[in-house]
């Protein structure tokens, strides 16, 4: 049992700067929780409070049922993997991984067994006698993870561990971290600003904004039903199209938009959300409840399996992105009509940005 519970946790720095503003999160035992959000949203501060590297101004942090607010980091039975690896340059890989166990006076035979087992799992056995400077970035990150694994902690904490790696290696390490976490079954909390990384790793995804939890849940739930325009624009690449619309009897009203009859647009207007991948090129009549968008193409990005098409909607200047499959035969300057069906439309409150309806 290694559940992590944050109960109305707050962090206030000198000068009354509120970095975390009353956060409630429960990470079930064995689950992989990812905290994601822009710089300054409080995600790293929250992780450091779980680790004991930052004091908690108010609220409670509990690990495995015990309140840990006043415990030192070494007393919390956690292991942390940092962005910069934090390896000792003068020590071998073996000694880096064994260092924490030696400080805890773990028997030598047990240290040797744990280090070699972790090295086997991470496929770094051939590098045990090397120094960190003799390793690639991905290999150093594996050593940092191995140092955490040998501890056999209740909780793993990851602070943007892949941000120093190139794009290809990030993908490879992302897959390996997820496989490793599932194999070990250790409760994990992971911080990143990369929404794709967050979506692919998380069992529970927590989107943070200005020190608060904007939305938490299964990654696909956040993708399919974002609770606010902030989540809608942060989760998904490219981000969701967000179009200010007025209420009208025939459907949401804005220049360049047709259809949408029956959408519950409030009298004061709303924001209509459509993901780029849910737009398809069409010349046919719209199905019941569907919405059509017409705009001149201003840019085309062909990336192989799909094409991104950009253009302004009507006279509003609202930029639209359509993510079309394959090679779209469209050129800048040509008009295009795209449509999305009713089940792919989202409505948000014009002022608060909160989701309207289910």
**Domain 239-349, what fold?**
OB fold (Dihydrolipoamide Acetyltransferase, E2P) (2.40.50)
C-alpha torsion angle, residues 327, 330, 335, 339 (rounded to 10): 0
**Strands, sheet with 291-296, edge to edge from the N-terminal-most edge strand:** 257-259, 291-296, 335-340, 280-281
> Is there a contact between 51 and 73 (Cβ–Cβ < 8 Å)?
yes
Residue 195 contacts by C-beta under 8 Å, 6 or more apart in sequence? Answer: 36, 234, 235, 236, 237
Across 238-257, average pLDDT: 86
Overall CATH class of domain 4-224 = alpha beta
Residue ranges covered by each domain of the chain: 4-224, 239-349
Compute the average pLDDT of residues 154-174.
86
Residue 85 vs residue 45, higher pLDDT: 45
340 pLDDT above the threshold of 70: yes
Q: How far apart are the C-alpha atoms of 326 and 277, rounded to whole Å?
A: 12
Give residue 94's pLDDT. Answer: 95
Residue 315 reports pLDDT greater than 70:
no
The per-residue pLDDT for 316 is: 64
| Residue 43 structure tokens | 């995600």
Model pTM above 0.75? yes
Coil, helix or strand for 309?
A: strand
Whether 230 and 247 have beta carbons less than 8 Å apart is answered as no
Q: What is the pLDDT of residue 91?
A: 93
Average pLDDT, rounded, for the chain: 91
Q: Give dist(CA 40, CA 251) in Å, integer.
A: 39
- pLDDT of res. 61: 97
Q: Maximum CA pair distance of the chain?
A: 78
Closest CA to 121 of 179, 79, 198: 179
Token digits of residue 69? 């607010």
- Is pLDDT above 90 for 263? no
Min mean pLDDT across 129-138, 202-211, 315-324 is at 315-324
In this predicted structure, what is the pLDDT of residue 122? 86
Q: Please work out, in degrees rounded to the nearest 5, the angle formed at the alpha carbon of residue 205 by the alpha carbons of 204 and 207.
A: 150
Which is it for the CA torsion 197, 199, 19, 31, positive or negative? negative
Average pLDDT over residues 256-272: 88
Whether residue 176 has pLDDT greater than 90: no
| Segment 278-301 mean pLDDT | 89
- Burial of 43-57, coded b for 16+ CB within 10 Å and e otherwise, reads bbbbbbbbbbebebe
123 versus 322: the higher-pLDDT residue is: 322
Least confident of 9-13, 251-255, 289-293: 251-255
Confidence tier at 1 by pLDDT (50, 70, 90): low
């Amino acid at each position: 049992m290694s559940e992590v519970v944050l109960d109305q946790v707050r962090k206030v720095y000198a000068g009354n700067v509120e970095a975390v503003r009353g956060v409630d999160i429960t990470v079930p035992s064995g689950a992989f929780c990812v905290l994601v959000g822009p710089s300054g949203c409080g995600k790293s501060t929250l992780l450091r409070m779980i680790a004991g590297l930052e004091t908690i101004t108010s609220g409670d942090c509990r690990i495995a049922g015990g309140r840990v607010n006043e415990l030192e980091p070494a007393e919390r039975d956690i292991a942390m993997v940092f962005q910069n690896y934090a390896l000792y340059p003068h020590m071998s890989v073996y000694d880096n991984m064994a260092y924490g166990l030696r400080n805890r006076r773990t028997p030598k035979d047990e240290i040797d067994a744990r280090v070699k087992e972790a090295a086997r799992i991470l496929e770094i056995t051939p590098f045990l006698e090397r120094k960190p400077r003799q390793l690639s970035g991905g290999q150093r990150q594996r050593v940092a993870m191995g140092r955490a694994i040998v501890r056999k902690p209740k909780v793993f904490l990851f602070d943007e561990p892949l941000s120093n790696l190139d794009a290809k290696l990030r993908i490879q390490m992302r897959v390996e971290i997820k496989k490793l976490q599932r194999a070990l079954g250790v409760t994990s909390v992971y911080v990143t600003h990369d929404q794709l990384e967050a979506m692919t790793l998380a069992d529970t995804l927590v989107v943070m904004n200005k020190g608060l939890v904007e939305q938490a849940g299964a990654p696909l739930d956040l993708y399919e039903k974002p609770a606010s325009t902030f989540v809608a624009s942060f989760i998904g690449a490219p981000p969701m199209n967000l179009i200010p619309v007025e209420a009208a009897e025939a459907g949401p009203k804005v220049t360049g938009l047709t259809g949408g009859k029956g959408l519950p647009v409030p009298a004061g207007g709303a924001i209509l959300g459509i993901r780029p991948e849910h737009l398809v090129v069409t010349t046919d009549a719209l199905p019941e409840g569907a919405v059509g968008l017409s705009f001149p193409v201003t840019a085309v990005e062909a990336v192989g399996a799909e094409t991104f098409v950009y253009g302004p909607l009507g006279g509003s200047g609202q930029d639209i992105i359509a993510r079309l499959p394959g090679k779209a035969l469209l050129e800048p300057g040509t008009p295009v009509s795209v449509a999305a069906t009713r089940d792919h439309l989202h409505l948000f409150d014009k002022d608060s940005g909160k989701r309207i309806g289910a």
